Chain A
Amino acid sequence: MRATRRQHLVGTGLVLLGVLMLASPPAWAADPVKIGVLAPLTGVYSIVGDRGVKGVELAAAEINAAGGILGRPVEIIARDDETNPEVALRQVRRLMLQDKVAAVIGPLHGGAAIAVSNETKRSQVLQFPFAAVEDLTTVNCQPFLWRITASASQTARGGAELAKRLGLTSWATISSDFSYGRSVANYFVEHLKDINPSVTIVTQAWPKLGEEDFGAYINEIIKSQAKGLYVGLFAADLVRFVKQAKAFGLLDRMTVLFDSGGSHEVLKTLGDDAPFGHWASERYNFLASSSEVNRKFVEAFNKKYNLYPDMIVYDGYASLKFFAAAAEKAKSVEPRKVAAALAGLRLETPKGVVWLRPEDHQAVQPTIWGKVQKAAPYTFPILTDFVIVPAERVTLPLDRSGQGCR
């Protein structure tokens, strides 16, 4: 008897279904655990945002290959926050209401992260921000927000420790005139004066965000005859500053510390114009640790994306790993229970052993500074000669952190 066309179709469909089921790795019995990622996926900062998403994706792939979270697969939903607090707020509501995510990783923009934090606090959804702005773990500390990313104060206080070690006695700072730029310069100056009262701060410059011409500031810094300069400029501002500082010969006259200047994007853009021999920090550096965990992480990321992981890759990766570990410990993905499990949780990440302080929800971790150098086989400038300042020296004392959680 000839089969009808319909029977054929059904037959083919069944075979296809069978093939698909055979091909797909562990057949998940349970609903996926959904994790939202909020990051700039369009515009100038999308190159950074994309990497954050890739870091989270790598962690998800590893977790799923090892059986998921509590036997449930992890599913990543990335949404574009356009580096804009209002858009971030809209997107986080969508993630919570429509996608029903268990946690949100991001945003990167400080203002957006604070706006989203108000929302995750109200709706009781976990949040792991990429943003380093201090307020998230001080005045805006809240039960559902936990920060794996190194904070502004950790990096800048680490800078002050390095400055002391370099033995230079007169310092200048230049920092973009917005909350994050102000806070890194202030933490640097304050901590440096604390640990080395003999130091003098000779001048402090506050160019606007997006300044095109740093010439006047550079002249003034050279005139101040400072021995060291602490720089809190980021992204395109940092690229412009380094080029102009080089043109004025500033880099030959003093030792410069670039807060978060280890950004791969900035170093790649600068190429041969990079500030070789000067110091830069990175919240995570792929060469700074020789641990097995780090080696595997760098290798897996490089294999998957043909890129070396930088700080935001690590932040995204480690955030999801912390969530997964806490959920396993709590035997639940219910935000309250996971939050309780996060408090004090200690985890070996590619950066080293990191733990979450229950009082302010900040990950306690060392600060990485290194010298900018050219070295094979890397095609872009990298950091070497690392100075790793221990966590207890760089993390804000508890009487000045976690105010919002008291």
Chain B
Amino acid sequence: MDAWFWAAQVLNGIAIGIILFLVAAGLTLLLGVMGMLNLAHGAFYMVGAYALYSVFASGVAGWYGLGFLAVIAATALVGALLERFALRPLYDRPPGYILLATFALVLIFDDLVLLIWGRAYKSVPPPAPFEGALQLGTVPFPAYYALIILVGVLLTLALWLLLQRTAFGRLIRALATDREMVAALGVNVSRSLRMVYVLSAVLAGIGGAMAAPLRSISSGMGVEVVIQSFVVVVIGGLGSIWGAFIGALILGQFSALGILLVPRFAVAIPYLVLVMILIWRPYGLFGTRV
């Protein structure tokens, strides 16, 4: 009983960690490649969840699969528009401008969502085959968490292939190292930056859509997850995708197990981990010393 119980908790933590990773990956990508601290990242998480809800509410068969196509399309579109009209004009200004602009976008998006979808919170069920619980030894484990873990691992692999094995990935890594040099080699830098931004938006949108069947969908739902993602990014090292992956899994475990071991301090645990990392390795687990 006990071993299964702890195994279920660990898997639980992995599922939480994977959703966190999808959001944090985009955040750290933007930091690494563009040096941009994007507070509006949670907006994509929220847009993803609402897009899935819209497809669900339309009542089409196979809403979950179609919903994910809609999520990708919606977040890519919103991301591209934001990058072009709200952020690009600020690239040449000091970074504080982008910080302010993205904070303004957080507020704007929270209100836009209320205007479009109304004030009642929304809810989507898990897709039908994944509604109940599996039996993990002696303890129940939600089938949908298993789906999250599976899809999350596949997405992580795909992201790894994209970054390590494709021309686009090489370009991203080159941009992160020396943007001016890349420009001098004749690469259209501003188009590439937009693609990075869109990629990060889509990742967060998928994270929001995957979390939606387990959480409630409401205005402001992106705030908490972005704060946690910043913790993940700092733990992992600014700009490091692998750092974000490990950081998210660590944080997921701490939230799942911390609640059981030290319930009174569960809320503080992520931040304690953050402080310890900052003292011990201020550049993060996988960051490079500056």
With a cutoff of 8 Å between Cβ atoms, the chain B residues found around residue A47 in the complex are 119-120
Whether the Cβ atoms of A247 and B267 lie closer than 8 Å is no
Main secondary structure of the interface of A (DSSP, over half): helix
Cβ contacts under 8 Å, A239 to chain B: 121, 123, 216
Give me the 10 closest cross-chain CB pairs, A-B, nearest first: A247-B142, A249-B133, A239-B216, A216-B259, A215-B12, A236-B216, A249-B140, A47-B119, A269-B123, A208-B267
Q: How far is the CA of A172 from the CA of B216 in the complex (A)?
A: 24
| B144 x A219 contact (CB < 8 A) | no
Contact call B16/A213, Cβ cutoff below 8 A:
yes
- Kindly state the separation between the CA atoms of A222 and B125 in the bound complex, as whole angstroms: 22
Contact code string B1-26 (vs A, CB < 8 Å = 1, else 0): 10001001100100110000000000
Contacts of A205 in B (CB 8 A): 263
Interface residues of A in 194-252 (CB under 8 A from B): 205-208, 210, 212-213, 215-217, 219-220, 222-223, 235-236, 239-240, 243-244, 246-250
Decide if A268 is an interface residue (CB 8 Å cutoff).
yes
- Nearest residue, chain B, Cβ from A223: B5
Q: Please name all residues of chain B whose beta carbon is closer than 8 Å to the beta carbon of A46 when the two chains form the complex.
A: 119
Is residue B75 contacting chain A, with contact meaning CB distance below 8 A? no
Chain A interface residues toward B at CB < 8 A: 43-44, 46-47, 205-208, 210, 212-213, 215-217, 219-220, 222-223, 235-236, 239-240, 243-244, 246-250, 265, 268-273
B220 and A216 form a contact (CB under 8 A) = no
On chain B, which size bracket covers the interface?
35 or more
For A246, the chain B residues whose CB sits under 8 A away are 131
Minimum Cβ distance to chain B for residue A279 (Å)? 21
Check if A219 sits within 8 Å of B139, measured CB to CB.
yes
Taking the complex as formed, is B92 at the interface, i.e. its CB lies under 8 A from any CB of chain A? no
Q: Please, which residues of chain B bring their CB within 8 A of the CB of A248?
A: 133, 140-142
Bound Cα distance A272, B131 (Å): 12
> Could you tell me the distance in whole angstroms from the C-beta of B70 to the nearest C-beta in chain A?
20
Closest to A270 in B: B123
Output the least CB separation between A331 and chain B (Å).
Answer: 42
Contacts A216-B9, A249-B140 given: A269-B122 contact, CB under 8 Å? Answer: yes
**Contact (Cβ within 8 A) B256 A44:** no
Cβ-defined contact, B140 with A44, below 8 A: no
Q: Is B255 an interface residue (CB 8 A)?
A: yes
B81 proximal to A (CB < 8 A) = no
Q: Mark B226-267, 1 if CB is under 8 A from A, else 0.
A: 000000000000000000000000000001110110010011
B213 at the interface (CB under 8 A from A): yes
Contact A268 B120 (CB under 8 A): yes
* Alpha-carbon distance A235/B215, docked complex (angstroms): 12
B133 / chain A contacts, CB cutoff of 8 Å: 247-249
A-side contacts of B263, CB under 8 Å: 205-206
Residues of A within 8 A of B132 (CB): 247, 249
CB–CB B123/A273 < 8 A:
yes
26 A-B contacts, Cβ less than 8 Å apart? A44-B119, A44-B121, A210-B224, A212-B215, A212-B225, A215-B9, A215-B16, A215-B256, A216-B256, A219-B5, A219-B9, A219-B139, A220-B259, A220-B260, A222-B139, A223-B1, A235-B121, A236-B216, A240-B214, A240-B215, A243-B216, A244-B142, A249-B140, A269-B216, A270-B123, A273-B125
Which residues on A sit within 8 Å (CB–CB) of B123?
239, 243, 269-271, 273
Bound CA–CA A220/B255 (angstroms): 14
Report B11 CB to chain A, min CB distance, Å: 9
Contacts of B143 in A (CB 8 A): 247
| Residue from A212, A213, A247 in contact with B131 in the complex, judged by beta carbons closer than 8 Å | A247
What residues of chain B lie closer than 8 Å to A207, measured between beta carbons?
Answer: 259
1/0 contact string of B184-198 vs chain A (CB within 8 Å): 000000000000000
B200 contacts chain A at the CB level, 8 A cutoff: no
Contact A244 B214 (CB under 8 A): yes
A313 → chain B closest CB, angstroms: 15
Contact of B145 among A215, A222, A270 (CB under 8 A): A215
Residues of A near B169 (CB, < 8 A) are none
Instruction: For B8, list chain A residues within 8 Å (CB).
Output: 219
What residue in chain B is nearest A249 (Cβ atoms)? B133
- B268 CB → nearest A CB, Å: 10
Report whether B9 and A44 are in contact in the complex, using a CB–CB cutoff of 8 Å: no
Whether the Cβ atoms of B139 and A269 lie closer than 8 Å is: no
